[in-house]
Chains A and B, each alone.
Chain A
Amino acid sequence: AQRVTQPEKLLSVFKGAPVELKCNYSYSGSPELFWYVQYSRQRLQLLLRHISRESIKGFTADLNKGETSFHLKKPFAQEEDSAMYYCALSNTGGFKTIFGAGTRLFVKA
């Protein structure tokens, strides 16, 4: 079964602190994994995808197939990072993208 698990509903950190949003997945094939972000009153948008291995707004995520994880990390959180973050998995072919329950990140001044 295809499943994405984000164990933390809320993560609160101080500005400048490191942040890690956890994501674990279950999928029998070769998934495509993404992180999406939803800022207040904005639409959901892509933050990064595992195949591009890029850093966006200081965030990185590494796919660990052994642990079936795709955790999102940033070494120094900023107040503007406060948002809802969703880990997502797309099946082979891309007909079905499912999302984790989401983690609300709150960065305190």
Chain B
Amino acid sequence: DTAVSQTPKYLVTQMGNDKSIKCEQNLGHDTMYWYKQDSKKFLKIMFSYNNKELIINETVPNRFSPKSPDKAHLNLHINSLELGDSAVYFCASSQTGGNTEAFFGQGTRLTVV
């Protein structure tokens, strides 16, 4: 059983398109995140949701709109894709309170051409 799963694994699209990445966790966690890993492997937090509420938005362009329909899902929609959006996007989840270990999805490699 995959704890945190993202789809798709690879996404190649043209500039200007709109695309979505889906994330689901079956760990019963109350917090979910999106991270962006650039070509230099730097991992930067984008969003954090707790119980479906946006907690953290790290100055991400408003072309990026996360949506959390329930605690187990956090989807990322990106409008008007740009070349600079090419990266690996990781979804993660954790539980607030005691053990805050983050569990990661396998990543979505987005390539904008």
Contact = CB atoms under 8 A, between A and B. Distances in A.
Interface of A: 9, 32, 34, 36, 43-46, 49, 84, 86, 88, 90, 93-99, 101-102, 104
Interface residues of B, number: 28
B90 A95 contact: no
B96 A88 contact: no
Contact of A93 (B90, B96, B99): B96
A32 B92 CA distance: 17
B12 interface: no
A44 B95 CA distance: 17
Interface of B: 31, 33, 35, 40-45, 48, 50, 55-56, 90, 92, 94-97, 99-107
B94 A94 contact: yes
A96 B42 contact: no
21 contacts: A34-B101, A34-B102, A36-B102, A43-B106, A44-B92, A44-B104, A49-B101, A84-B41, A88-B102, A90-B102, A94-B96, A95-B31, A95-B50, A95-B55, A95-B96, A97-B94, A97-B100, A98-B45, A99-B43, A99-B44, A101-B43
